[in-house]
């Protein structure tokens, strides 16, 4: 340390050693917010490992000469650079070394100049620099440092203080620059790491050694709520931020700066952008009414959007779920049973409710066809009575309609699963039609009346087993027993996978019992139990 | 002679690495704060055992520009042309590292860095082709021309038991769409534009292997082919048997999937990669 206004290589080394130790305490927190460019949760670790290599090289260089010291540090960074953030960090050290090249000692202005060089070198280092990252943070911090240095060239601590303050602000702004961060509700991890590194260096210069030892860095928070589920964000509950309020204001002599000042403190994540005639406002607030009332006094309002952010979160999840199939082709399936419908939806299908006892009308199916954005639609009727209905749809719409003639719900699921994302609609239709031949369906339902079919005597109300919606193979009072007989008749011993969807008239324990039985009788089969929730059918079974 | 450099995810059989003198740059596998260089410090056997047992999920990182620049300086003493082929830049910063190293070393010799948009065998087969050409006396510009035509014809298809590893490692790409399903799915994935992309959802490993075989069947004039696994040699054997009448078994390469990729795909990955004819 040095109280005079002339600093040397040892000071630079100690600054970054302190900064690096400071950052080490936050590695897990930094990892937790890492979503960009790849959400792999290792930014903090990578920065730390890179910094360790920097400090190792610095310790080896006994030179107090600043130029030689930063050159050694730059070399260490290059050798130790890990991951994306590490590579950028190594560019930053390279820039510092360039800036200090030939300098034995330095003052505040020299540091600001080298720091600016570091920022430039970081940008040069990337084939595709992205704003809202560590790059933005260093650039803005360096610009600030330069400004202060012009006034007080000898005040290193003041200059670094200004840079650290600006870095903190800059980190807070990163979500407004980078959509991935906004969606995940986090600030940029690399930027956060750089801020903490600089903060540690500053604390060291200011002599706050106890703080460095006993306290933990303060993370910059995003102050926005995630719109996208992101499992790696720390499980800490984010507090509610009320309503996300967005609108465009048009008028004359509008003053965005004044509007921003006025709205500041009325909510979170305030963004006011625009010019004299049009200003866009984004704010998370508990009181959207108050914001709008104020805005109407200044101009006319357009594109007003107010959303409860908790609902937004749910809406986004819903949207993600429906994005399974590429939008050029939609698959519309007729299905029933809450659980069954969920299975279909999770595989990307759009549902028209209906089935055995309540066939959907042509009108209902047509409405679904017209409602999807896709021009090409594949229909899965999942019932022989509905096959005819859907075939009529072709005549009634300008969209390209194809039907895979599925007769049962298991066939429909197999057809959906066969959908190949890389193939054309023709190839898909062929593969789907082919695949449904490989699945056998067993349905266990109740006999509507007493009768005799294929030599089997049936009393009304008994459980009956039907294969592929056509062949009655078993009847009896014990539902599970009928299921076991039907499976045997359907050739369960020659399949690999038995999926059991139990209906809303079957208890889960009863279904689990029969799964145990199936596993015992067919020990080498994969057996899956799904709550299909369908009415009328105790079980719908898929054999494939 | 052109010196060929690639990264450890290329999974090139050792005899070919030696025969063609290919320089392999290891990526890093990180358990907590312990760093291992792929293959060099941790063998696939050791790694997959630890992957299953370890409570800490490992991460991976690209090799440093410094490592590349030291290698370039060393190779420049033996050659005037270096070709680097890397794992997809959408999956790793290795490409960026190599590009920076190229800028660092300046004009010591001619260096080209190619983003393969691939990894595992999809990358490895390209490297083998390039190294063969280099051994045959081709100059760097000729090999670059060849690669330009080969890049779009190299394919990697992988079978996964679970997407958990891809999701944890942040490389799930377009296969994001397959998450959250209610049925157990065994997905078949590929790399498209360098990003993980779903090909097909199957319900079992047997169906998934069928899909791999069909993908190979529908390819035109296969020029080279590699099959890979991590901890399932029996499945590799089954796959080899099924492919034997499509492509000669004795010409088919075999290899494990490197630890760095293993972090992201898990111990039950099964893969087939090939270069299609023109």
The predicted-structure confidence for B251-273, as pLDDT tens digits, reads as follows 999 999 999 999 999 999 999 99
Q: Do A87 and B206 touch (CB under 8 A)?
A: no
Q: Is A338 on the interface with B (CB under 8 A)?
A: no
**DSSP of A338-368, one letter per residue?**
HHHHHHHHHTT-EEEE-BTTBPPPHHHHHHH
CB contact at 8 A, A492 and A543? yes
Query: In chain A, what are the domains?
Result: 7-214 (1.25.40.340), 243-315 (3.30.70), 324-438 (3.40.50.510), 440-543 (3.30.1180)
Closest CA to A315 of A246, A225, A377: A225
Alpha carbon distance, N-terminus to C-terminus of chain A: 74
pTM: 0.66
Q: For B133-189, what is each residue's pLDDT tens digit?
A: 999 999 999 999 999 999 999 999 999 888 888 888 888 877 777 776 778 889 999
Q: Do A45 and B30 touch (CB under 8 A)?
A: yes
Q: For B76-115, what is each residue's pLDDT tens digit?
A: 999 999 999 999 998 999 999 999 999 989 899 999 999 9
Q: Which residues of A touch B199 (CB under 8 A)?
A: 420-422
Q: Do A348 and B200 touch (CB under 8 A)?
A: no
pLDDT at A235: 27
Q: Is A323 on the interface with B (CB under 8 A)?
A: yes
Instruction: Please name the helix (run of DSSP H) or strand (run of DSSP E) that holds residue A427, with its range, or none.
Output: helix A425-435
The count of CB pairs under 8 A between chains A and B is: 130
From chain A residues 219-248, the ones with a CB under 8 A of any chain B CB are 231-232
Q: What distance in Å separates the CA atoms of residue A376 and residue A419, rounded to the nearest whole number?
A: 14
Which alpha helices (H) appear in A379-424, and where do they start and end?
384-396, 409-418
Domain B153-275 belongs to what topology?
Answer: Hypothetical Protein Tm841; Chain: A;domain 3 (3.30.1180)
Closest CA to B192 of B119, B272, B277, B268: B119
Q: Is A440 on the interface with B (CB under 8 A)?
A: no
Q: What distance in Å separates the CA atoms of residue A225 and residue A302, rounded to the nearest whole number?
A: 24
Q: Is A127 on the interface with B (CB under 8 A)?
A: yes
Crossing angle between the packed helical segments A83-100 and A108-124, to the nearest 10 degrees = 140
Instruction: Name the residue facing A421 among B197, B202, B206 (closest C-beta).
Output: B197
Residues 6+ apart with CB under 8 A from A109: A149, A150, A153, A154, A159
From chain A residues 389-418, the ones with a CB under 8 A of any chain B CB are 413, 417-418
Q: Do A45 and B204 touch (CB under 8 A)?
A: no
Q: What distance in Å separates the CA atoms of residue A411 and residue A365, rounded to the nearest whole number?
A: 19
B3-152 and B153-275 share one CATH topology?
A: no
Out of 3.40.50.10170, 3.90.550.10, 3.40.50.2300, 3.40.50.720, the CATH code matching B3-152 is 3.40.50.10170
Residue where the block lists tokens 């590009």: B99
Min Cα separation A259/chain B (Å): 40
Q: Do B170 and A342 touch (CB under 8 A)?
A: no
Q: What is the ipTM of this complex?
A: 0.70
Q: Positive or negative CA dihedral for A232, A235, A241, A243?
A: positive
Residue ranges covered by each domain of chain B = 3-152, 153-275
Instruction: Name the residue facing B203 among A127, A348, A417 (closest C-beta).
Output: A417
Instruction: Name the residue facing B204 among A39, A81, A526 (closest C-beta).
Output: A526
Q: For A377-420, what is each residue's pLDDT tens digit?
A: 999 999 888 887 888 888 888 999 999 999 999 999 999 988 87
Q: What distance in Å separates the CA atoms of residue A501 and residue A410, rounded to the nearest whole number?
A: 9
Q: How wide is the angle at C-alpha A300 spanned by C-alphas A297 and A305, nearest 5°?
A: 105
Instruction: Name the residue facing B64 among A81, A348, A419 (closest C-beta).
Output: A81
CB contact at 8 A, A543 and A495? yes
Q: For A11-43, what is each residue's pLDDT tens digit?
A: 999 999 999 999 998 998 898 888 776 666 778
Q: For A53-99, what is each residue's pLDDT tens digit?
A: 999 999 988 788 999 999 999 988 887 777 678 878 988 998 999 99
């Amino acid at each position: 340390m040095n109280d005079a206004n002339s600093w040397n290589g040892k000071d630079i080394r100690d600054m970054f050693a302190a900064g690096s130790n400071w950052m080490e305490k936050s590695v897990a927190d930094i990892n937790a917010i890492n979503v960009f460019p790849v959400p792999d949760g290792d930014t903090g670790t990578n920065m730390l490992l890179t910094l360790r290599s920097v400090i190792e090289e610095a310790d080896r260089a006994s030179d107090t000469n600043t130029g030689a010291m930063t050159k050694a540090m730059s070399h260490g960074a290059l050798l130790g650079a890990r991951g994306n953030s590490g590579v950028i960090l190594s560019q930053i050290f390279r820039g510092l070394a360039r800036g200090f090249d030939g300098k034995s000692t330095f003052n505040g202005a020299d540091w600001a100049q080298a720091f600016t060089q570091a920022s430039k070198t970081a940008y040069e280092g990337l084939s595709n620099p992205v704003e809202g990252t560590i790059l933005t943070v260093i650039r803005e911090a360096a610009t600030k440092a330069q400004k202060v240095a012009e006034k007080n060239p000898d005040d290193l601590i003041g200059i670094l203080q200004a840079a650290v303050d600006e870095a903190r602000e800059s980190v807070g702004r990163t979500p407004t620059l980078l959509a991935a961060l906004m969606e995940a509700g986090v600030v940029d991890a690399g930027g956060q790491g750089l801020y903490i590194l600089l903060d540690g260096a500053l604390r060291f210069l200011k002599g706050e050694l106890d703080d460095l030892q006993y306290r933990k860095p303060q993370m910059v928070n995003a102050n926005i709520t995630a719109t996208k589920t992101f499992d790696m964000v720390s499980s800490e509950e984010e507090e509610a931020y009320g309503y996300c309020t967005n609108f465009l204001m048009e008028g004359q002599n509008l003053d965005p700066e004044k509007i921003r000042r006025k709205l500041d403190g009325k909510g979170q994540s305030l963004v006011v952008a625009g010019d004299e005639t049009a200003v866009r406002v984004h704010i998370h607030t508990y009181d959207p009414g108050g914001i709008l009332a104020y805005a109407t006094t200044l101009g006319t309002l357009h594109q007003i959007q107010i959303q409860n952010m908790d609902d937004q979160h749910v809406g986004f999840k819903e949207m993600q779920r429906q994005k399974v199939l590429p939008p050029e082709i939609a698959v519309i399936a007729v299905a029933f049973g809450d659980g069954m419908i969920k299975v279909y939806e999770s595989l990307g299908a759009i549902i028209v409710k209906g089935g055995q006892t309540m066939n959907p009308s042509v009108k209902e199916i047509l409405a679904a066809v017209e409602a999807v954005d896709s021009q090409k639609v594949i229909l899965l009727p999942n019932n022989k009575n509905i096959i005819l209905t859907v075939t009529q749809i072709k005549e009634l719409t300008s969209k390209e309609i194809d039907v895979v003639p599925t007769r049962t719900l298991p066939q429909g699921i197999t057809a959906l699963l066969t959908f190949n994302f890389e193939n054309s609609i023709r190839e898909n239709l062929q593969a789907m039609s082919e695949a449904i031949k490989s699945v056998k369906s067993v349905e266990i339902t109740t006999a509507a009346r007493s009768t005799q079919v294929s030599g089997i005597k049936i009393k009304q109300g008994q459980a009956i087993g039907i294969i592929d919606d056509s062949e009655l193979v078993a009847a009896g009072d014990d539902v599970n027993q009928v299921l076991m007989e039907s499976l045997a008749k359907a050739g369960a011993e020659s399949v690999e996978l038995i999926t059991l969807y139990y209906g809303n008239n079957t208890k889960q324990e009863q279904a689990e019992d029969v799964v145990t039985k199936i596993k015992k009788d067919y020990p080498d089969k994969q057996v899956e139990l799904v709550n299909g929730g369908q009415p009328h059918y105790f079980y719908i079974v898929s054999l494939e | 002679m052109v010196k060929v450099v690639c990264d450890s995810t290329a999974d090139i059989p050792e005899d070919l690495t030696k025969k063609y003198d290919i320089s392999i740059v290891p990526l890093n596998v990180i358990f907590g704060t312990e760093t291992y260089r792929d293959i060099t410090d941790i063998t696939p056997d050791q790694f997959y055992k630890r992957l299953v047992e370890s409570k800490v999920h490992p991460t991976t990182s690209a090799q440093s520009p410094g490592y590349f620049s030291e290698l370039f300086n060393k190779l420049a003493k033996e050659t005037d042309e270096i070709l680097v082929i890397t794992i997809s830049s959408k999956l790793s910063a290795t490409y960026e590292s190599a590009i920076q190293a190229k800028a660092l070393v300046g004009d010591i010799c001619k260096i080209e860095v190619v983003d393969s948009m691939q990894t595992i065998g999809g990358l490895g087969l390209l490297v083998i082709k390039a190294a063969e050409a280099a051994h045959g006396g081709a100059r760097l510009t000729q090999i670059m021309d060849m690669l330009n035509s080969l890049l779009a014809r190299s394919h990697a298809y992988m079978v996964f038991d679970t997407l958990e590893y891809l999701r944890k490692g942040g490389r799930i790409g377009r296969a994001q769409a397959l998450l959250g399903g209610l049925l157990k799915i065994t997905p078949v994935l590929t790399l498209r534009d360098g990003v993980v992309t779903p090909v097909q959802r199957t319900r079992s490993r047997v169906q998934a292997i069928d899909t791999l075989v069909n993908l190979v069947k529908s390819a035109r004039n296969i020029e080279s082919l590699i099959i890979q696994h991590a901890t399932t040699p029996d499945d590799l054997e089954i796959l080899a048997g099924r492919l034997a009448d499509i492509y000669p078994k004795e010409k088919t390469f075999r290899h494990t999937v490197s630890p760095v990729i293993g972090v992201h795909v898990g111990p039950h990955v099964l893969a087939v990669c090939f270069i299609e004819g023109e």
